[in-house]
Amino acid sequence: MVNLIIFGAPGSGKGTYASRLLSRLNLEVVATGDIFRGMIKEETPLGLKVKEYVENGLLVPDEITLEVLKQYLAKIPKGKGFLLDGYPRTIEQAKALDKIAKIDAVIHLIVSDWIIIERLSSRRICKNCGAIYNMLYLKPKRDMICDKCGGPLYQREDDVPEVIKRRIEVYEKQTQPLLEYYREKGVPFVEAKCEKLETPPETVVEEIIKGLEKLKLV
């Protein structure tokens, strides 16, 4: 059983690698954004609280996020670890997390800015079903039409180069103190680099697994 946190800028491939690590290791992927969306859909008491903040464009307060996380982690079967994606985002959240779980390692994705810009500015999403395409390496069969449901594809407003650059800057400013926090605590790091646009996800996943094996965590 291993408990991990994955850090990486928007477009670094966190979700892609997390889904592949899930199938290779005995892990539950804990993506706070997905949990919030699920709770809102199910209209649980906490979900309704979260909905209020989300609908008003506000950040969900730390105490509610932590309560959501506690409830979710409690449901993970014994002997199964987790991979946290999207939490913690602040030192306060990291300290709160320390009280409810032991983190065995941090996975740090290091991806060149130009690769992230190329990836995200080429992303297209189906308006109907939310399927994700990429005009570089995951094109739809028909131009701007979803293969799954025939819906129209669109580009998110924040998937343009100028906005992507700002998103990377915000991420780095926000995450640097967290990386330092975990280094100071002596939590081991597994760093996975992606320096080529065409690097297959499996190559990066293998690098992460080898790093975890070196630490004798898997």
For the annotated catalytic residues, the residue numbers are 14, 89, 123, 156, 167
Q: Beta strands 3-7 and 105-111: pairing type?
A: parallel
> How far are the Cα atoms of 81, 122, 153, 185 from residue 5, in angstroms, in the given order?
11, 27, 32, 14
- Single-letter code of the amino acid located at 102: K
Both tokens of 135, joined, read 């005009």
CA distances from 144 to 60, 102, 126, 163 (A): 34, 45, 9, 22
CA dist., res. 86 & res. 93, Å (int): 11
Six-digit token string for 151: 């819906």
